Structure 1
Amino acid sequence: MIKSMTGFSRVERVSGPYHFRVEVKSLNSKGLNITNQIPGYLSMKELEMNSILQEYVKRGKVHLRVQIKFLEPPKVLEIDKNIVQAYYSMLEDVVNTLSLPEPVKLSDLLMFRDVFRMELSDEEIENVWNHFVPIFREALEKLVEERRKEGERIAADLKKILKDLLAGVEKIEKHSDQIPILYREKLKEEVEKILPQDISVREDVLENHIAFISTKADIREEITRLKSHIKRALELIESDSSVGLNLDFLGQEMLRELNTILSKSISVDISNLALEGKVLVSQFREQVQNVE
């Protein structure tokens, strides 16, 4: 069954010495657009993270937010002694120049944030990553399930639209049998308006003209293609693959066939049914914009 492009999931888990909070939100998009809000030390894993995400999501604007708390103090904090020495020398110079009574204290040096350097070891990063991946996959599975549930609702709406559209096409097909009769009546009316009453038109000549015009106005091919597009759309709706773009293309093709029928039609009934069909196709395409 088709999936929606919209969804949200959140998973919070404690794994090893870490507390994870993973949120994944997806919205409509023409393609797959991923943005990540992750701790800096996981930036080296971002490509792997996106690769895993693409196993679950094929289309949509996806935002990933990851928060990690260390339940045990990691050995990540270092002091850059060279920078400390530079700040100390600068402050000592200020104290001496201004003859200040207070000497430079350690607390003065610790006010400068860049004297600290926080950097996880590769081993620690791998440990975080190995605990993170199962939780990340759980969040993605929940997202897919949410998108699938929304997809079921969209599928029901699309099937209803296609059912109504097919019913309209079948009515057009029934009315199309009357096209030669309509052309005969219209042509006779035009002939009577143009020619004097004492001049008659050979019936065989009139029938040949009617047959020629009716051939140009034949809409059987358009009806056949419309039915084929509707059938294919119903098949795609049952698919578990990413079919949103294919469904949108079919919607365009349905609209083209209905426009052709409108341009050929001299039947008010057929024209009205084709216009109703165009409304249904517009509704179909609007819903398809939400499909992965």
Structure 2
Amino acid sequence: MTLASMTGFSREEGTLDNIRWTWELRSVNGKGLDMRLRIPQGYDALEATVRGLASKRLKRGNVSINLQVQREQNTTTLAVNEQALEQVLQALAVLQRRLPDAAAPNLDGILAHKGVLELQEAEETEDQKAAILKALEDSFKIALDNLVVMREREGESLNELLSGQAAEILRLTEEAEGLPSRQADAIKERIAAQVAQLMEANNTLEPQRLHQEAVLLATKADIREELDRLYAHVNALRDLISTGGAVGRRMDFLAQEFNREANTLCSKSNSVELTAIGLQLKTVIDQMREQIQNVE
């Protein structure tokens, strides 16, 4: 599997008989999977199917699904309203009895009465309705496929960016480990100088207290654990990148761990060079966290 972005768009159009429709699917970042559907009245039966199909293919993201349906104008027919016609004929019969010398009504006059002739929408049979719903469902599947493809294409870019950032974090970690200030002799000399300063500032320090202060200084100067965890985090990030799929949540947690180690590295820094590396690490990690927000 490859990484997938949560950002994507697709549009699919279709026609069947006198019906034309358009599916539009949009997705952006989200903590979970949140789908918002806009389906015209009369096609509500599609909602459960659409949600089910989308939830199988998408794991995270705010997804907007919009269906527009148009019917061609020539679907209406001219029909006689039998009830209205009967009422008109009954009224004419009454008038003819009362006015026997009046001219007999003609067909044009009868049909001109309001309501006798009316436009009616052609009714669909159950088979036609089922065929339309099936066509709309098939069209949605194509739109969903296209959305997934676009999210995967965006995921390829994220893969490249995150891999590059992992390599940069590894390079900076190795650079921190190779600093001259991390050599044992340099650390010993620096601790000795700091102990001498303590003794000069307070010559009444007891040997036990002085030993404790020296241990504290040595512990603060040791960044071995931070470096080891940074190495482990880089390997974990690379594993997630290669695994692919819905790994965004785990990546986000890992980014927090990266940031924690970089902060500790800066706080333990005993040289300008190490501080500079720590700040560079924080910059790369912040950039990485921004990209991870897009990962499904």
TM-score between both structures, scaled by the size of structure 1:
0.75
Q: Distance in 1 between matches of 2:176 and 2:8?
A: 40
Indicate the residue corresponding to 1:223 in structure 2: 227
Which deviates the most, 34-43 or 7-16?
7-16
Whether contact under 8 Å (1:23, 1:64) holds in the other structure is: yes
1:181-239 deviation per Cα after TM superposition (whole angstroms, max 9, x unaligned): 3222332344345559xxxx99xx97886455313542212211111111111221233
Report the residue type matching 1:30 in the other structure. K
Q: Distance in 2 between matches of 1:118 and 1:273?
A: 74
Unaligned runs of 5+ in 2: 77-81, 85-112
SS at match of 2:66: strand
Tell me which of 182, 187, 192 is aligned to 2:190: 182
Identity %: 31
Report the residue type matching 1:19 in the other structure. R
Q: Distance in 2 between matches of 1:171 and 1:291?
A: 29
Indicate the residue corresponding to 2:289 in structure 1: 285
Unaligned runs of 5+ in 1: 76-80, 85-104, 111-115
Task: List, as ranges, runs of 4+ consecutive aligned residues in structure 1 with deviation greater than 6 Å.
Answer: 71-75, 116-121, 205-208
Distance change >3 Å, CA 124–CA 15, structure 1 → 2 = closer
Indicate the residue corresponding to 1:155 in structure 2: 159
Whether contact under 8 Å (1:42, 1:125) holds in the other structure is: no
Distance change >3 Å, CA 118–CA 166, structure 1 → 2 = farther
Q: Distance in 2 between matches of 1:66 and 1:156?
A: 35
- Displacement of 1:253 in angstroms is 0.8
- Displacement of 1:118 in angstroms is 10
Distance change >3 Å, CA 217–CA 120, structure 1 → 2 = farther
Q: Distance in 2 between matches of 1:74 and 1:217?
A: 83
Q: What's the C-alpha RMSD, in Å, of the aligned pairs? A: 4.0
Tell me which of 209, 212, 217 is aligned to 1:213: 217
Whether contact under 8 Å (2:16, 2:132) holds in the other structure is: no
Indicate the residue corresponding to 1:61 in structure 2: 62
Q: Distance in 2 between matches of 1:119 and 1:254?
A: 64
- Displacement of 1:23 in angstroms is 1.4
The answer as to 2:141 corresponding to 1:137 is: yes
